[in-house]
């Protein structure tokens, strides 16, 4: 069980850039194809930009053609929370960091085998750390 991190919105504003705050705390979406991490192919781990929790291994990243970093599966299912999202008038599944509650993106059932899932994640919600 993960220990939850709770901060005031003022504390989050001090930690996150304005774009990160808009995406991670206000559930905005970054512009497609605007994130450097979308094309990045280094070997390592993608972490939550707000609390540094390990979220996705680089080996599970794939090119989805959607304009955002996409992953087949999380590093650990317990590190993500999924919630029903009807904000655009259609059902989607929102993906949040399980430790700090930050919005990361959405998961869709149209990914490659074997999972069949596509975790479509805002790049500004991620920090990448190379394997040493």
**Catalytic residue positions, numbered:** 120
Distance CA 21, CA 15 (A): 9
Residue among 61, 15, 7, 57 at smallest CA distance from 35: 61
Max CA pair span of the chain: 44
User: CB–CB of 108/66 below 8 Å?
Assistant: no
């Amino acid at each position: 069980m993960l220990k939850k991190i709770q901060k005031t919105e003022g504390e989050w504003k001090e930690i996150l850039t304005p774009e990160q705050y808009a995406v991670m705390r206000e559930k905005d979406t970054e512009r497609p194809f605007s994130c450097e991490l979308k094309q990045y192919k280094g070997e390592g781990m993608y972490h939550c930009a707000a609390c540094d929790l390990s979220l996705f291994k680089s080996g599970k990243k794939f090119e989805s053609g959607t304009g955002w970093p996409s992953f087949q599966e999380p590093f650990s299912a317990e590190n993500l929370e999924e919630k029903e999202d009807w904000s655009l008038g259609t059902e989607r599944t929102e993906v949040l960091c399980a430790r700090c509650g930050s919005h990361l993106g959405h998961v869709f059932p149209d990914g490659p085998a074997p999972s069949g899932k596509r975790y479509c994640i805002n790049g500004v919600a991620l920090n990448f750390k190379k394997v040493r």
